[in-house]
């Protein structure tokens, strides 16, 4: 991630990357060049930057990981454990590159779904209007790098008044060691549409690598989207991600994000309720141990009246791990009758675990209902004693209470097979010894 090396490599890559300069595709090359220019004007954030003061990513600076190569020898059997039986549509990207023979699109005529290069010409008008317009890269070097390297990416467009009952699974698989991958995802829901998107990051080895991902979601009037995001990268990896959501009139965005992997992870979620009566529900769970660092930053931006938002984020931290949560809610002067609530609850399982939580409300309207709260603590001794009095050992009592703390967030996931996978992961992670 050495900035100078990345910039030099990127400059040479942009000159030779085989994206034809047709009239329909010129906008994409222009977008990449704009992002390239922004990379050159920015630096890696440090703890001196307010938004990064709890998260030290200085260990990224000396790394010279080159972009991943489009090489894939995987077969379907290698990924079966990650497949979800409920998903009719599956897009698979290996080290950031699309793999067609591992992907499945059941109804290609019903909706636009596939890899970005396949739609650059045929859907140029909508892609030019949407791609790179929600996730700003002028003040985020990681988003700028992702956009400058933009080539493959998941594109999902749900037509007007179309309900996609089965979830769409976008699976990003990491296999290469000491590389940087740039996953990209664009979800567009037209008026009255409904969809469930599963954005899933997994690793097939314990390799060290960098994942720098960007997701953009645009919802038209009365569109509904459920967005399930799972990060279970290698414990040696670095995961840097941004998601930007724009909501039109009476649209509804529901998000559940689960952070389990990576040595250092950072997830930025920015939701803009850009029109009246928009709603969003944001749930998050961070489960880390050892010396992991997981940072979640969210911003819910109420720009118009009658908006509703609810957020709950939980962290379970063991060993010498460090969790960070910064949740900002902004209510603009004309966003009257906003109803917003935010909760940050954090559980420390060891004496060396650490949590920094910072809920924020910035309210510039007077007719609103807004509330927030944060708690940091350990397992309740009285609850442990109660379970022991019912015949459970202390270890089992602690495990049960820890799992129950996480189960509330997992219950928000509507896909049964995925929820069971995650329940097993949480159960295995929350087995502990008496403290």
Question: Can you say whether residue 277 is alpha, beta or left, with left for phi > 0 and alpha for psi between -120 and 50 degrees?
Answer: left
Q: pLDDT at residue 8 above 60?
A: no
CB burial of 247-260 (b: ≥16 within 10 Å; e: otherwise) equals bbbbbbbbbbbbbb
The residue count of the chain comes to 435
Among the residue ranges 191-200, 218-227, 379-388, the one predicted with the least confidence is 379-388
Rounded to 5 degrees, what are φ and ψ at 424?
Answer: -65, -40
* 156 shares its domain with 36: yes
Same domain, 178 and 62: yes
Sorting pLDDT into bands at 50, 70 and 90, what band is 2? low
- Residue 18 has a pLDDT of 45
pLDDT above 60: residue 434: no
- Cα dist. 60→63, 210, 285 in Å? 5, 9, 25
Q: What does the pLDDT look like over 243-294, one tens digit per residue? A: 999 999 999 999 999 999 999 999 999 999 999 999 999 999 999 999 999 9
Last residue of a domain, one of 230, 247, 275: 275
Residue 298 in domain: no
pLDDT digits (tens, 9 = 90+) for 121-164: 889 889 999 999 999 999 899 999 999 999 999 999 999 999 99
**pLDDT recorded at residue 10:** 54
- 369 belongs to a structural domain: no
Cα–Cα dist 196/416, whole Å:
13
Say how far apart CA 248 and CA 218 lie, in whole Å: 8
Judge whether 368 lies within some domain: no
Give the strand pairing for 97-98 and 89-94.
antiparallel
Is residue 138 located within the same domain as residue 14?
yes
Would you give the DSSP letter of residue 394? H
Q: What percent of the chain has pLDDT over 90?
A: 76
Q: What is the pLDDT of residues 166-216, one digit of tens each?
A: 999 999 999 999 999 999 999 999 999 999 999 999 999 899 999 999 999
Co-location of 134 and 258 in the same domain: yes
- The predicted structure's pLDDT at residue 383: 84
Last residue of one domain, picked from the residues 275, 292, 307 = 275
Q: What is the pLDDT of residue 20?
A: 52
Please give the model's pTM, rounded to 2 decimal places: 0.93
> Roughly what angle, to the nearest 10 degrees, separates helices 141-148 and 3-16?
20
State yes or no: pLDDT of 429 exceeds 90: no
Domain around 102: 3-275
Whether residue 11 has pLDDT greater than 80: no
Residue whose C-alpha is closest to residue 408's, from 282, 285, 271, 252: 285
What's the Cα-to-Cα distance from 424 to each of 251, 301, 372, 418, 433, rounded to whole Å? 33, 35, 31, 10, 18
In sequence order, the 6+-apart residues with CB closer than 8 A to the CB of 158 are 111, 164, 187, 188, 189, 190, 193, 194, 195, 223
Do the strands 66-67 and 89-94 form a parallel or antiparallel pair, or are they unpaired?
Answer: unpaired
- Domain membership of residue 119 (yes or no) is yes
How confident is the model at residue 173, as a pLDDT? 97
pLDDT digits (tens, 9 = 90+) for 106-120: 876 778 999 999 999
Q: Do 261 and 394 share a domain, yes or no?
A: no
Q: Of 249, 216, 38, 36, which Cα lies nearest the Cα of 126?
A: 216
Give me the chain's average pLDDT, please: 91
**Residue 384 pLDDT more than 60?**
yes
- Looking at per-residue pLDDT, the higher value among 384 and 276 belongs to 276
Same domain as 389, residue 267 = no
Span 400-407, mean pLDDT? 91
CA dihedral 138, 303, 359, 143 (to 10 degrees): -20
CA–CA dist 53, 109 (Å, integer):
48
Query: Is 16's pLDDT higher than 50?
Result: no
| Within a domain: 339 | no
pLDDT tops 70 at residue 3: no
Higher pLDDT, 366 or 222: 222
The answer on 240 and 92 residing in a single domain is: yes
Mark whether 237 and 111 lie in a shared domain: yes
Asked which of 256, 275, 294 is the last residue of a domain, the reply is 275
Question: Are residues 228 and 199 in contact, defined by beta-carbon separation less than 8 angstroms?
Answer: yes
Q: Are residues 254 and 389 in the same domain?
A: no
Q: Is residue 289 part of a domain?
A: no
Confidence of residue 9 (pLDDT cuts 50, 70, 90): low
Total domains present in the chain? 2
Q: Which of 88-102, 307-321, 381-395 has the lowest mean pLDDT?
A: 381-395
Q: What is the pLDDT of residue 15?
A: 47
> Is the pLDDT score of 379 beyond 70?
yes
Burial classification of residue 165, based on how many CB atoms lie within 10 Å of its CB (0-12 exposed, 13-18 middle, 19 or more buried): exposed
Which has the higher per-residue pLDDT, 433 or 51?
51
422: helix, strand or coil: helix
C-alpha span between 214 and 243 (Å, rounded): 6
**157 assigned to some structural domain:** yes
pLDDT of residue 61: 86
Residue at 296 is within a domain: no
What per-residue confidence (pLDDT) applies to 406?
93
């Amino acid at each position: 991630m050495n900035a100078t090396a990345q910039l030099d490599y990127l400059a040479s890559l942009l000159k030779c990357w085989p994206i034809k300069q047709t009239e329909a595709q010129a906008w994409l090359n222009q977008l990449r060049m704009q992002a390239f220019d922004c990379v050159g004007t920015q630096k890696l954030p440090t703890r001196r930057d307010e938004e990064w003061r709890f998260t030290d990513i200085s260990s990224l600076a000396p790394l010279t990981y080159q972009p991943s190569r489009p090489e894939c020898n995987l077969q379907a059997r290698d990924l079966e454990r990650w497949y979800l039986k409920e998903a009719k549509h599956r897009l698979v990207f290996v080290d950031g590159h699309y793999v067609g023979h591992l992907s499945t699109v059941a109804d290609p005529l019903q909706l636009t779904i596939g890899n970005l290069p396949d739609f650059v010409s045929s859907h140029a008008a909508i892609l030019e209007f949407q791609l790179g317009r929600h996730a700003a890269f002028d003040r985020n070097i990681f988003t700028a790098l992702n956009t400058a390297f933009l080539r493959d990416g998941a594109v999902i467009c749900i037509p007007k008044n179309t309900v996609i009952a089965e979830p769409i699974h976008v699976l990003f698989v990491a296999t290469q060691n000491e590389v940087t991958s740039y996953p990209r995802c664009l979800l567009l829901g037209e008026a009255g549409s409904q969809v469930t998107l599963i954005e899933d990051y997994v690793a097939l080895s314990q390799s060290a690598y960098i994942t720098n991902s960007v997701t953009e979601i645009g919802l038209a009037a009365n569109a509904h989207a459920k967005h399930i995001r799972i990060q279970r990268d290698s414990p040696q990896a670095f995961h840097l991600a941004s998601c930007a959501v724009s909501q039109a009139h009476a649209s509804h965005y529901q998000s559940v994000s689960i952070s389990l992997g990576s040595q250092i992870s950072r997830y930025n979620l920015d939701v803009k309720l850009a029109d009246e009566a928009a709603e969003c529900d944001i749930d998050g769970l961070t489960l880390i141990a050892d010396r992991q660092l997981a940072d979640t930053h969210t911003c819910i931006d109420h720009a118009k009246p009658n908006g509703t938002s609810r957020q709950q984020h939980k962290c379970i931290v063991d060993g010498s791990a460090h969790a960070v949560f910064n949740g900002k809610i902004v209510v603009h002067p004309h966003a009257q009758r906003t109803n917003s609530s935010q909760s940050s609850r954090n559980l420390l399982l060891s004496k060396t675990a650490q949590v920094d939580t910072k809920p924020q409300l910035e309210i510039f309207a007077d007719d609103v209902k807004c509330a927030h709260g944060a708690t940091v603590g350990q397992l309740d001794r009285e609850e442990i004693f109660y379970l022991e009095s019912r015949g459970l050992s202390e270890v089992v009592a602690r495990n049960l209470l820890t799992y129950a703390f996480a189960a509330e967030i997992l219950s928000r996931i509507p896909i049964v097979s995925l929820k069971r996978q995650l329940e097993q992961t949480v159960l295995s992670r929350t087995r502990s010894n008496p403290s």
